[in-house]
Structure 1
Amino acid sequence: MAATTTRLKELLAAPGIRIMPGCHDALSAKLVQEAGFEMGFMSGFAVSGARLGLPDTGLISYGELVEQGRNICAAVTIPMFGDGDTGFGNALNVTRTVQGYARAGFACIMIEDQMAPKRCGHTQGKAVVSREEAAMRIRAAVDARNAGDDILIMARTDARAVLGLEEAIARCRLFRELGADITFLEAPESVEEMRRYCTEVGGPKMANMIEFGKTPVLPPRELEAIGYKIAVYPLTLLNAGIRAMRDALVCLKQGRTPGNIMDFEELKASVGFPRYYDEEQRYRY
């Protein structure tokens, strides 16, 4: 855990923007690392969809997320960000959530200012807590970090959609003052809004690149020029996976073999059979 947190700090301090794909289980996390990415993100939306078959509307629990995160972090060696939703309650709940994510192996946890039940930041019906309660959550998260939990804190606000850009920027500034390592202003609706956020808030900032969402999806170089340090693509793998599975099911229903199917040896390699065989041989007697 300490090694991945240290590595994340190094990545944030180094020049250039970092591209961070989202994942929803141990296998998708392994694919992110296999593809050469330096960090990954456990998306609450993706985990809720893949694990429960339910929308990201606060239906998934702390226990389910941290268990999924434990499997994800155990499968890779790159730093992983974990979606910690609202922290699941008051300051003591936030403290426990941060501690649980740190012990699961996450290098960073995201805590947001939505009211429960929270929901995906690019969907309707969002509401946020007061600025004071939002500050309480981040203060509790920072205190847990400072008390010895080796994890970074990413503070997210969804205030743009509810209270406007000015309040969202003010909250991000406050989160930085409270000690958040990274800020995340969710769902700005134009390049100008993205530029204002990056200009008026210090420290590392994350851009959320959801295909066909509320925020313009820009190339990484443009995001870096605006002032972002991280570009997260939280739903790309889930999106592509659902499309591929639907296409394969159509083929099967029509009595055809789906195209773009891996050779069985490649499939076995993807889930780790060669390494298992090597280890099995090592301990053979």
Structure 2
Amino acid sequence: MTDFVGLADLLKRENPLLLPVAHDALSARMIERAGFAAAAIGGFGVIGCRTGLPDLGLASFGEISAAVRDIAGATRLPLIVDADDGYGDVKNVVRTVRVYEDMGVSAIVLEDQVSPKKCGHAAVTREVVPVATAEAKLAAAIEARRNPDFAIVARTDARLVEGLDAAIERGRRYIDKGADALFVEAPTSIGELETIGAAFDVPLIVNAAERGKTPVLSPETYRDMGFSIILYPATLLLRMIGTFERTLAALRTGKFAEEGELPTFATLTNIMGMDEWMEIDRRHG
């Protein structure tokens, strides 16, 4: 990872900030190669690709933070990291903040679901903790950070549990507690997006989750509604899985699927840093 860049500085460079979500080190390298200003790391993709499991709170902080460390070590991009519910009580939240701040990530997202948390767009029931519990975790996270530019983003999943009004009220309380940005997860219509955007004057995140519950709109439309950070949590994964399915189905018959022009093998190895490592070998080997 390169020198630290805070979320506020990222928003000065690009607004809305487009954040493809990386699920491993290679996808992070691809995001960087494509010219994005930053990337996000989502628990959904990390857990799915690392363990083959759904995002239902089945992975520990140790497993997820190890994946984040791998990704952070593979890219120079600033990273915004999904920290789930902080992986426990306020003590665990403090540890989570310290670990990710030490890794050099730009921001973490803390949510208010009851543990074990669940994917915000999956067709499953979920619960949220009492507001006071979420506020205490936010307060602990804010107090624990050493760099004030390390951003703490508050996420509420109350929309699908308590309704939109309750989610907005939680958001206001989280901002009052000191959160640097807000993520109201899973609004289900353009009208709800407009209501959320009009309710806050802070950086707002929207989850452009294809095949999810929230309308997927253009970056300009989201920006006009008041959203300054756009996450693309499933965009790479859906296309990766789709390509895998088509390719493997064809290969099972002894053929190669027609997927358009493929990158060269040299391109593949260069994305993995082959040139850099061979130069080290040339100079010192």
How high is the TM-score relative to the length of structure 2? Answer: 0.94
1:266 alignment partner in structure 2: 267
* Partner SS for 2:73: helix
Q: Which residue of 1 is the match for residue 210 of structure 2?
A: 211
Asked whether the 8 Å contact 1:102–1:150 carries over to 2, the reply is: no
* Maintained 8 Å contact 1:5/1:108: no
Gaps of 5+ in 1: none
Corresponding residue number in structure 1 for 2:276: 275
Letter matched to residue 119 of structure 2: C
Aligned residues of 1:43 and 1:235 also touching (Cα < 8 A): no
Cα offsets for 1:41-62 (capped at 9, x unmatched):
1110001110010100000110
Q: Deviations over 1:201-229 (max 9, x none)?
A: 22100110000211110100000000000
3-state SS, counterpart of residue 5 of structure 2: helix
Q: Which moved more, 1:26-35 or 1:103-112?
A: 103-112
Who is 2:5 aligned against? 5
With over 3 angstroms needed to count, the CA separation of the structure-2 counterparts of 1:96 and 1:156, relative to structure 1, is same
Distance 1:15 1:49 in 2: 30
The number of residues matched between the two structures is 282
Is the 8 Å Cα contact of residues 158 and 186 (structure 1) preserved in structure 2? yes
Equivalent position SS for 1:5: coil
Residue number in structure 2 paired with 1:232: 231
CA distance in 2, matches of 1:149, 1:166: 30
Contact 2:2 2:76 (8 Å CA) reproduced = no
- Give the residue type in structure 2 aligned to 1:30: R
Residue type of the alignment partner of 1:241: M
- Write the deviation string for residues 169-201 of structure 1: whole angstroms up to 9, x where unpaired: 111111111111110000011111111111112
Alignment of 1:95-244 (within 5 A): 95-123=94-122, 124-145=124-145, 147-148=146-147, 151-244=150-243
Distance 2:119 2:92 in 1: 21
Give distance in 1, aligned partners of 2:31 and 2:178. 29
Q: Structure 2 counterpart of 1:234, which letter? A: P
Structure 1 residues 4-23: Cα deviation after superposition (integer angstroms, max 9, x where no partner): 334x3212235631110001
Letter of the structure 2 residue corresponding to residue 3 of structure 1: D
Query: What TM-score, normalized by structure 1, do the two folds share?
Result: 0.94
Name segments (4+ residues, structure 1) moved above 6 Å: none
* RMSD, aligned α-carbons: 1.6
Asked whether the 8 Å contact 1:21–1:236 carries over to 2, the reply is: yes
Q: In the alignment, residue 263 of structure 1 is paired with which amino acid?
A: T
